Structure 1
Amino acid sequence: MDKTMSRRAVLLRALQLPLAGSVLLGLSACDAGGDAREGVALVCADPDTMTSAQESVRRTLRYSEQSPDSNKACSGCAFFSAAQGGCGSCSIFDGNVVNPAGHCDSWSAAS
């Protein structure tokens, strides 16, 4: 059995090993052991289930599912009530569902 390797085979192996390592590293980062929804934006307000009045209030107050300022998210607002399942409710929107990470122009710090 010939134990020598050609220069081409050595170079090929030298390229394959780092590539395989980076693929394995990337795959291991995909499942860091957290919640399956981790890293995925939570969407709470479904426009298909809202009345036109509810949509109008949200549009007027410029509600968004993701706050541009993490210090002014719905979860820190006086009008927000936490609920099971990730989403909460807001008294401004007649108790309708809102995203804890969301924001609107009526945001007021919880005391």
Structure 2
Amino acid sequence: MDKTMSRRAVLLRGLQIPVAGGLLLGLVGCESGDSNGSAGVALVCANPDDMTSAQASVRKTLRYTEVSADTAKTCAGCAFFFATADGCGSCGIFDGNAVNSAGHCDSWSADS
């Protein structure tokens, strides 16, 4: 029996291995931590499904994110933020709606 592989089969195998490895790494990255937002998982303080379209629009316009890219500019250090005990807080910019203390938006202003 001749056990040669065609060029097409070699190329197909060469593509399948990196794709499978990437999917495996992606699944490992999706593993969630505990409920308080550890293991790199952002604590989501406001359920987008419970927001009105106006509330969601303001968040989108101000580019609100659950985790700030700049650790010196988080919601916890903003003048409009009011902390709560659960790691979340409320924001005056968002009409007192919940935000993540580690979050950020374009209206961030240093708390004095």
TM-score, normalising length: structure 2: 0.65
Q: Does 1:89 align with 2:90?
A: yes
Percent identical residues:
70
How far apart are residue 36 of structure 1 and its match? 6.4
Q: Does 1:72 align with 2:36?
A: no
User: 1:42 aligns to what?
Assistant: 43
3-state SS of paired residue (1:71): coil
In 1, distance between residues paired with 2:71 and 2:55?
24
Judged with a 3 Å threshold, the aligned counterparts in structure 2 of structure 1 residues 49 and 78 are, in CA distance, closer, same or farther, namely same
TM-score, normalising length: structure 1: 0.65
Alignment deviations for residues 9-40 of structure 1 (CA, whole Å, 9 cap, x no partner): xxxxxxxxxxxxxxxxxxxxxxxxxx863334
Larger radius of gyration between Structure 1 and Structure 2:
1
CA-based RMSD:
1.4
In 2, distance between residues paired with 1:46 and 1:36?
15
Structure 2: runs of 5 or more not aligned: 1-33
In 2, distance between residues paired with 1:72 and 1:44?
18
Judged with a 3 Å threshold, the aligned counterparts in structure 2 of structure 1 residues 52 and 36 are, in CA distance, closer, same or farther, namely closer
Structure 1 residue ranges (4+ consecutive) displaced by more than 4 angstroms after TM superposition: none
Structure 1: runs of 5 or more not aligned: 1-34
In 2, distance between residues paired with 1:65 and 1:53?
18
Number of aligned residue pairs: 77
3-state SS of paired residue (1:70): coil
How far apart are residue 41 of structure 1 and its match? 2.2
